[in-house]
Amino acid sequence: MKKNFFSLALVALLGVAAHSASAQAMMSPNSVMVGGKAMLPSKNIVENAVNSADHTTLVAAVKAAGLVETLQGKGPFTVFAPVNDAFENLPAGTVDNLLKPENKATLTKVLTYHVVAGNMTADKLMAAIKAGKGKASLKTVSGGTLVAQMNGKNNVVITDESGNVATISTYDVNQSNGVIHVIDKVMLPK
């Protein structure tokens, strides 16, 4: 009986190890897990974002604003990507209102306010903050400004023009056309 139990346990353990090894083999060495899926550096921002369970609202908004083609473009782009909870924490009805066809221009402005031209990795963000004596102003694609600063020793926070502060929870999700930093708030331009 002990021998059968040991054999069964060994088979189960080998099966888990094989599954884990095959999952690791499917991930690129530079990929990051976001929303339960590997974000592959060989794919563009949209190709990766559509696979993240944490970014379904953002993806729906990008589609409604007609920004899919832009964010599949050459770039490079730095995207501060709010998770679903960030959208849910907006005042009731905000997302539904923004997704209406008549509000496409406003939605586009809000979404492009989360995008900075260039490839601003975490190291580059921190270097810009240091060079700016504690703050770095980031010009967004919408024409607005986000301010990056340190919150502690190794954590960057982003402040919008309305004073909302977002914490970056996942840094350097590399894409073929830029980088994504996952944030916990929706940034709002004035």
38-87 pLDDT tens trace = 777 888 888 888 888 889 999 999 999 999 999 888 999 999 999 999 99
How many CB atoms neighbour CB 24 within 10 A?
10
Q: Give the pLDDT band (50/70/90) at residue 26.
A: very low
Task: Provide, rounded to the nearest whole percent, the portion of the chain with pLDDT above 70.
Answer: 84
More confident site: 144 or 30: 144
pLDDT given at position 29:
54
What is the pTM (predicted TM-score) of this model?
A: 0.81
Say whether pLDDT at 21 is over 50.
no
How many CB atoms neighbour CB 132 within 10 A?
13
